[in-house]
Amino acid sequence: MTPQALIEALGAARIFDLEQPRHSGMPVHPAHAPGFNYFLHRQHGSGVPEPPGRTSASGVLVMPEHTGTHIDALSHQAEHLKLHGGVDVNSGVMSAAGFSVLGIETMPPLVGRGVLLDVAGQRRLEPEYEITVEELKKAAVAAGVEVSAGDVVLVRTGYGALWDQPADYLRAAGVSAAGSQWLADLEVAAVGADNMAFDTVNGFDVELGVTLPAHVRLLVRAGIPIIENLNLEELAAAGVHEFAFICLPLKMKGVTGSPVRPLALA
């Protein structure tokens, strides 16, 4: 495809913005408090030393990397103090300044085929419900799509519509440990969901003996990134289940995750 043809194709595509708005008071996992804080310290007005006719404004943003719509780096989680690939966290790779391996800056842009598995459909799933493998497969069949290696798989629970109701949002449904393992076995490129953790916040994997099992099965064992706090409502309402997916992590050296603004083009 020529550059001009690509531009024309992109121009004809509908763009779905999958990021939730960031603001003080938005849902935040307890481990990542205090959440979003913005301080406007330079403001337009008299008394600011600027050339005549021009003023400026700027502020300071304080925000843990795992708040809002974000993607987890592979350094975010460990199993028995081993990162993905068996890297020992005690081997000098971790310091107060971050990680010398598997930081978010090592993650390439995610550009590829996206698939929406709308498990919720016309109803919101029950609080803290764990989505089964069969429900993921059923959603794929209903959408007429087949999940393949290299896909970015987005799972809709219906809780993205509750972004402005933090207490309810934090009780969102999530993907079960078996569901996460199914996706790992398919060798998808990345996963995401319209909830806080892809898992349920209080989920527990009996086999592994851990909470947040997707974070072990996907991030640590399979090296598959997780995108959290997506807004999938518009995409689902449009009935779009297969699309071009674009997600660009910020190149922050040694950091364990990054805010993102994912796009679906269909």
pLDDT digits 0-9 by tens, 133-180:
999 999 999 999 999 999 999 999 999 999 999 999 999 999 999 999
Q: What is the DSSP string of 127-171?
A: TTPEEPHHHHHHHHHHHT----TT-EEEEE-SGGGGTT-HHHHTT
pLDDT of residue 44: 87
The closest alpha carbon to 264, from 20, 71, 15, 13, belongs to 15
Give residue 47's identity as a one-letter amino acid code.
Answer: G
Nearby residues of 53 by Cβ (< 8 Å), 6 or more positions away: none
pLDDT of residue 50: 63
Beta bridge partners of residue 226, listed in sequence order = 191
Token duo for residue 217: 């099965």
Over residues 122-132, the pLDDT tens digits come to: 999 999 999 99
pLDDT of residue 48: 63
Give dist(CA 238, CA 97) in Å, integer. Answer: 43
pLDDT of residue 7: 79
Token duo for residue 235: 């995409």
Give dist(CA 7, CA 259) in Å, integer. Answer: 27
Question: How far is Cα of residue 256 from the mean position of the Cα atoms in its chain?
Answer: 13
CATH 3.50.50.60 for the 70-265 domain, yes or no: no
What are the residue ranges in the chain where pLDDT is below 70?
46-51
**Domain ranges, ordered by start, for the chain:** 70-265
Residue 13: Cβ-neighbour burial (10 angstroms; 0-12, 13-18, 19+): middle
* pTM of this structure: 0.95
